[in-house]
C-alpha cells in the first residue's frame, strides 16, 4: 500500500460535543507522524467544492473544550449521487489528499463507505453522534455530554413537576435508538422511558400508568425518544393519548431539541475523542482502511465500516428492568 503523506478530515451530519477534541487529536497525531493535514469545511459539501485549508498544530489550539465543530457541518444530497462523489474524488486528488477521516454518525459513515468502495480511497470513520447508535463501539463521541445535559434539564423539570403534581413527557433525541432516553431516565430518577427498541406503544403507556401512577405518586416524569420520520411516537403523541384515555391526569410536554447537542464536552468525551483521533492515524500507519474506530471494554477496536453502519446496536434490556424496579 502506498505511503500516506496527506490526510483530509471532515465532520458531517449533526454536530456532537467532542468533535473538536477529535479534530485536534487527528491533526496533531498526523503532524507528529510527518503527514500534511487538510481541514475540509462543511462536510461532504466542502469535499465536493474543494473547501480545504492546511492545518498546523496552532489551527487546533484552544479547541478541546469547545462544543460544535470548527470545521462546520452540513448534510449533502449531492454527495449521495455518483456524480457528486466523483467530484469529491477529483478535488481530493487535485489537493494531493491520500486518505480521508470522517467524523459523524450512521448516515455520514454510510456515505464514506460508499465513497471508499467506489474510488478506492482509504477512509477511517470516527463515531461522532449523540445517539450512541453505531454498532461496534460502547460509546460514541458526544453521547456522554448529551446524557449529562438531559439529566440537568430533567432535574429542573422535576422541581416543577413536583410543585404542580403533573406528568411530564420529556422528549429527547434518538429517533431509532433509545440509549439517551433509557439511560437519562435511570440517571434522573424518572418513572419510565418510552423507547423505539420496545415497540409496544399501547403497552408502554399502559404499563407506565399502571406502574407509575397507581401507587398514588403525585408527579411523574417520562423520557420519550423523538417521533419517527412518519410522525408516530414522540412526547406529543403520548401526551395526547393520556389526555384522551386518562383525562384525570394533568399532562405537560417538554421537547429538549437541539439543546442536547450543545455545550462543552464532558471530560469523558474529550478523552474518548482524543483516543479515537489518535487511533485513526495509528490505523492508517498500520495499513488499515474502511474501518470505524470504536471502543469496547475501554480498549480501542477497529470495526469494518460495513458492520458499523448496517448492524443494529442492541440496547441492554437489563436497563429496562433497572428503571422499572427503581421507579416504584
User: Catalytic site residues?
Assistant: 131
CA distances from 70 to 18, 143, 270 (A): 11, 19, 15
Q: Report residue 41: phi and psi, to 5°.
A: -85, 145
Q: Which of 18, 21, 35, 116 is nearest to 8 (CA)?
A: 35
**H helix intervals, 215-293:** 234-245, 267-285
Query: Could you give the CA distance from residue 148 to residue 138 in angstroms, rounded to a whole number?
Result: 17
Query: Could you give the CA distance from residue 54 to residue 90 in angstroms, rounded to a whole number?
Result: 18
Compute the 3-state secondary structure of the chain and give helix, strand, coil in percent, each to the nearest 5.
45, 20, 35
Q: Which of 156, 88, 76, 147 is nearest to 116 (CA)?
A: 88
Amino acid at each position: 500500500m502506498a505511503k500516506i503523506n496527506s490526510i483530509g478530515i471532515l465532520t458531517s451530519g449533526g454536530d456532537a460535543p467532542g468533535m473538536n477534541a477529535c479534530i485536534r487529536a487527528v491533526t496533531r497525531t498526523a503532524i507528529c507522524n510527518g503527514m500534511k493535514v487538510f481541514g475540509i469545511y462543511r462536510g461532504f459539501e466542502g469535499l465536493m467544492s474543494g473547501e480545504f485549508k492546511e492545518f498546523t498544530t496552532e489551527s487546533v489550539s484552544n479547541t478541546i473544550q469547545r462544543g460544535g465543530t470548527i470545521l462546520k457541518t452540513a448534510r449533502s444530497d449531492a454527495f449521495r449521487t455518483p456524480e457528486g462523489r466523483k467530484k469529491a474524488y477529483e478535488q481530493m486528488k487535485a489537493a494531493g489528499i491520500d486518505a480521508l477521516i470522517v467524523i459523524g454518525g450512521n448516515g455520514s459513515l454510510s456515505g464514506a463507505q460508499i465513497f471508499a468502495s467506489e474510488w478506492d480511497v482509504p477512509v477511517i470513520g470516527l463515531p461522532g453522534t449523540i445517539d450512541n447508535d453505531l454498532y461496534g463501539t460502547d460509546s460514541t463521541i458526544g453521547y456522554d455530554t448529551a446524557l449529562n445535559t438531559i439529566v440537568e434539564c430533567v432535574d429542573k423539570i422535576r422541581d416543577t413537576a413536583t410543585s404542580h403534581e403533573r406528568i411530564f413527557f420529556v422528549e429527547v433525541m434518538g429517533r431509532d435508538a433509545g440509549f439517551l432516553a433509557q439511560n437519562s431516565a435511570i440517571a434522573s430518577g424518572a418513572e419510565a422511558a418510552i423507547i423505539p427498541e420496545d415497540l409496544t406503544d399501547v403497552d408502554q403507556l399502559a404499563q407506565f400508568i399502571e406502574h407509575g401512577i397507581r401507587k398514588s405518586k403525585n408527579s411523574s416524569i417520562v423520557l420519550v425518544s423523538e417521533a419517527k420520520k412518519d410522525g408516530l411516537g414522540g412526547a406529543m403523541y403520548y401526551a395526547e393519548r393520556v389526555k384522551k384515555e386518562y383525562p384525570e391526569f394533568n399532562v405537560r410536554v417538554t421537547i429538549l431539541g437541539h439543546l442536547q447537542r450543545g455545550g462543552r464536552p464532558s471530560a469523558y468525551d474529550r478523552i474518548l475523542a482524543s483516543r479515537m483521533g489518535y487511533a485513526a492515524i495509528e490505523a492508517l500507519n498500520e495499513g488499515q482502511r474502511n474501518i470505524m474506530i470504536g471502543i469496547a471494554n475501554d480498549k480501542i477496536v477497529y470495526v469494518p465500516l460495513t458492520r458499523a453502519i448496517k448492524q443494529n446496536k442492541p440496547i441492554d434490556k437489563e436497563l429496562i428492568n433497572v428503571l422499572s424496579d427503581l421507579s416504584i
